Every structure is written in C-alpha cells, then in structure tokens.
Amino acid sequence: MTDKLSRRGFLGAASGITAGAMLVPGISRGIGAPAVHVRQSSKNIAVASGNGLRAVTKAGELLAQGVDTLDAAIEGVKIQELDPNDMSVGYGGRPNEHGVVQLDASCMHGPTRRAGAVGALEGIKTPSVVAKYVLLYTNHIMLVGEGAKKFALSYGFKEEDLMTERSRESWLRWRANRGPDDDWIDVERDEPMVPRPTGTINCNVVNANGDISSVTTTSGLAWKIPGRVGDSPIIGAGQYTDNDVGAAGSTGRGESNIMVCGAFLTVESMRRGHTPTDAAIETLRRVVTASEPRLLDERGRPRFGLSFYAVSKAGEFGAATFYPSRYAAFDGEEASRPDTAYLYERDS
C-alpha cells in the first residue's frame, strides 16, 4: 500500500505550478505570508520524536535513493504503526475507554502544498498511509470515523483487529483499577502504570533539493472518551509544512497544542529567522501562557508533557520539551538521539 506520489500527475503539480509562475528557490510566493529567503539544504535530513530512531534511519535511507520526502517520512513512521510492541501508535495501540483502538494521522507534502488527515479511524493499521490517500485522491483534507474507514477499504486496505494481547491486557487492568469506589475488583499490576499513557510519532524531513514533508500518527490518549481526537490529525497543530521555510510536529498533550496551533506557530517562528530549536522553545512558552491554571503546578510549570520537533529548509533541525528528554535525528550521515532543549529542570 505504498503508491508513489507521482500518481495522477501529483509530482507534476509540484514541479510546475502554472505557466509563467516560476518560483525563485527559497522565496515565498503570493501574499499569504511574509516573503523570506532561506538557503537550501545540501543534505537529506530527518527529525522525529524520541521513539522514531528507526523512522529517521529509514527515511534517511530512502531520501538518499531519491524517494519523495512524504513517502520517505511515511515509510519511516509505518515501522512504529506496524510494530505490535509499540502501544502508542497503529497496531497494538492503547484503546479508548470502551476497548476500541481509534487512530489519528495527518501529513503534508511541501512541494505541492497539499495535506491529508484521518481521525478516529478504526480497524486500519497504517493511518498515515490513509492520510496520504486523502491527500492524493480527494479534494478534502480530513476524513473521520466510519467515513475514513470506508474510504480506506475502498482503496484496498484490510480491516483488522488492532488490539494485541498486550494492549488488551493493559486496558483490562486499567478498567479494573480505575477508581477506589467503582464496582470492579482491583487486580495486580505486573508493570508500572501511569493514569493516562500517551504516545505519538512525528517525522519531518527535508531532502538535498530543499523539498520538505511531515507526518504525525498516533493511537491517541489511552482510555480516551470514544471519538476524542487530539492534535495529531489537525493540520497546523500535530504537524505543518511550508516548503519555503520548514516543517514541525509534536507529541504530548494534544489539547494544549491545538490551543496554540503549535506546529504552524513553530514554522512561522522559523520564517521570522529563529532556528528550529529556538522556534520550538518559543512555542512551548506560548503553550504555558495559554494553559489553564488547573494544568499548571504551584510554580506555574505544566503538569503535562508536550514536545516539538522541527527542520528548516536549510537543513537545520532541533527539538524542545518542557523537561529534559531526547529526540531522533538523521543528520545526513547517521541517526542518533540528541538531547532536546527544554524550559524546566526536573525536580530531583
């Protein structure tokens, strides 16, 4: 299920917008955003969340072979989506409170300035690919729920049970232990449990030609209310790409990211000249300012986690979180897990 982006003349749209509309590389077109000149990357770069080391490695390998940036990013995150041992995305993801796995994903292709997304998708292991099909074959940007599943099935995707024994056991233990005053009998826990596990993978890439794409995919907040959709499928929140500037994406508390349109805000900061790391830090500061008091501790620090990852057209990359962490990056030669920038030290 990996149709190339050349289908239906897709890449043709990227290479020649209209007759007489030639673009100067690195110069923003039209009046929709401030003009900015950005030097072009000379390397193939991929940056992702901390769980994306395999993703950036795969994306880097594909970029070196000349594969389109969006295909490279999606093939990278598919590794996590198809991994039954990863309980945060795709197959084996943690379900909602009714025991149903609902997946979200979105993607953007810089050269053609197009986007696709799916929300609350059930029964399909690779929502990132379905999001790409929305981008490729429809005049829409987002499909959700039953409509998204029917769309995927119409293109030959196979409906499957996304729960693994591990994810089902995790849900059953949560259900049994969720409250001291409920009618369920507590059961022993064989692994550390936190109240609301979260997990997502974001991947942003730029190739040596300066073309950029991004993708974010998730199973969302564990035990969520059925139908809940976080930031991952929201264009401008879970991820955003501007082929003249760069791309950014996020993992963590989606509701807080949606409130500031975090991925878009990070790219706009890069447009104004910030490095990817500094842009991500500025977005986190905005999140803190926009947060309700109940979400902050007595010192005004977030009680939740949120991270941003970004790459510029020039091939610069970086990431920032509230507290020290790591992310995944392919620097054109090898993959590694550098330290993120951060706003606060962890309590000792």
Once rounded to an integer, what is the mean pLDDT over residues 228-238? 97
The answer to whether position 338 is within a domain reads: yes
Residue-level pLDDT at 22? 34
Range of the domain at 121: 35-342
Instruction: Count Cβ atoms within 10 A of the Cβ of residue 347 and give its class: 0-12 exposed, 13-18 middle, 19 or more buried.
Output: exposed
Residue 301 confidence (pLDDT):
97
CATH code for position 161: 3.60.20.30
50 located within any domain: yes
Split into its structural domains, the chain has a count of 1
**Is residue 15 included in any domain, yes or no?**
no
Query: How many angstroms separate the Cα of 165 from the Cα of each of 92, 179, 287?
Result: 8, 23, 37
**pLDDT score of 180:** 58
Q: Which of 22, 171, 181, 164 lies closest to 90, judged by CA?
A: 164
Looking at the domain assignment, is residue 106 inside a domain? yes
CA–CA separation, 304 vs 140, rounded Å? 33
* 245 located within any domain: yes
DSSP annotation of 35: -
Contact 93, 167 (CB under 8 A): yes
Taking CA atoms, 53 is separated from 138, 217, 318, 329, 345, in Å, by: 32, 15, 14, 7, 24
Q: Which helix (H) or strand (E) holds 132?
A: helix 127-137
| Contacts (Cβ under 8 Å, ≥6 apart) of 180 | none
Catalytic residue among 200, 218, 283, 340: 200
Cβ-Cβ contacts under 8 Å for 222 (sequence gap 6 or more): 94, 95, 170, 174, 196, 197, 198
pLDDT at 12: 44
| 200: annotated active-site residue | yes
pLDDT band at 321 (very low <50, low <70, confident <90, very high): very high
Q: For residues 274-287, give the mean pLDDT.
A: 98
Tell me which residue of 194, 191, 7 sits closest to 85, measured CA to CA: 191
Pairing of strands 328-330, 306-312: unpaired
CB atoms within 10 A of CB 331: 17
Q: Is the residue at 23 inside a domain?
A: no
In a domain, 21, yes or no: no
In a domain, 9, yes or no: no
pLDDT of 23 over the 70 cut: no
Give which of 296, 215, 291 is closest to 251, Cα–Cα: 215
Q: In the block, which residue shows the tokens 């293109």?
A: 155
> Which of the residue ranges 37-41, 49-53, 167-171, 342-346 would you say has the lowest mean pLDDT?
37-41
